[in-house]
Amino acid sequence: MTRTARPLIAGNWKMNGLYSDSLTELRQLIKNTEATGTMACDVLICPPATLLREMAAASKNTAVDIGGQDCHANGKGAHTGDISAQMIAECGATYCIVGHSERRTDHGESDAVIKDKAAAAHGAGLIAIICVGETLAERESGKTLDVISAQLAGSIPVESNSDNTVIAYEPVWAIGTGKTPTPDDVKAVHAHIRQEISGRIGNSDATRLLYGGSVKASNADELMVIDNVDGALVGGASLKTDDFWPIVRSCC
């Protein structure tokens, strides 16, 4: 295993979480980090926007960071239902996911839009987690690395560096399906991403590359020791602290 960056274990709650239960889960997570003492990785929860302010307040000065799941590319304006990166930052969040495949698919977001969103996140002082990943059809037709290259080329803004940008490799067919690529496949894609971001992201060797897609307690140990895997972006298994914590511990 080669690792040059401090790992990040991020939970993406998607459209899950009401106030009371969410705060209970978060408090348990914080308690676990406090009981651990010095954490060897960063821990992030990206709750629905409705919970950002409360959760950021509850996790202030703890080892848990809070992030948004998406932001609009513009700072403000007539965009019903959207929120800006600055609004997310004002809640006390420090990260924002952009380009998740559910946004690309459900909302038709292109690489160009994702690039603008990442730039907006940077402009608001947020760390952008830019997601890339191939569909099953693309994998089966041998296009995985080409698809990833094109997504990286199109969605990384010029000011990106290892401090303000994280890349998450999330094969679309592995998200929420219980299927994961083999360790060799993950290794090959992450090595490819590391190579592709050189020249596109400042200090690319120290840029964190997360694996996402059906990460759970039972496979985290195996996934987190793969070369160039600097953490995980976890969906379903991040909703309950009891499920998420063993994944955190696989890196910390």
Residue 76 Cβ vs ligand PGA, minimum distance, rounded to whole Å: 28
What's the residue count for the chain?
252
Amino acid at residue number 52: L
Q: Which is nearer to ligand PGA, 144 or 214 (CB)?
A: 214
**Given 25, 72, 100, 109, which residue is catalytic?**
100
Q: Which is nearer to ligand PGA, 67 or 212 (CB)?
A: 212
Q: Distance between CA 108 and CA 114 in Å, rounded?
A: 11
> What are the two backbone dihedrals, phi and then psi, of residue 30, each rounded to the nearest 5 degrees?
-60, -45
Is 100 catalytic? The answer is: yes
Nearest-CB residue for ligand PGA: 235
Residue 237 Cβ vs ligand PGA, minimum distance, rounded to whole Å: 6
Q: Which is nearer to ligand PGA, 226 or 234 (CB)?
A: 234
Q: Distance between CA 125 and CA 143 in Å, rounded?
A: 34
Residue 233 Cβ vs ligand PGA, minimum distance, rounded to whole Å: 5
**Given 102, 109, 134, 170, which residue is catalytic?**
170
Q: Which is nearer to ligand PGA, 39 or 210 (CB)?
A: 210
Exposure pattern of 227-238 as b/e (b: 16+ CB <10 Å)? ebbbbbbbbbbb
What is the residue-wise DSSP string for 1-32?
----S--EEEEE--S---HHHHHHHHHHHHHH
Amino acid at residue number 214: S
Q: Which is nearer to ligand PGA, 25 or 170 (CB)?
A: 170
Q: Distance between CA 217 and CA 224 in Å, rounded?
A: 11
Residue 234 Cβ vs ligand PGA, minimum distance, rounded to whole Å: 5
Q: Which is nearer to ligand PGA, 67 or 213 (CB)?
A: 213
Is 34 catalytic? The answer is: no
Which residues contact ligand PGA (rule: CB under 6 A)? 12, 170, 175-176, 212-215, 233-237
Residue 199 Cβ vs ligand PGA, minimum distance, rounded to whole Å: 27
> So which residues are the catalytic ones?
100, 170
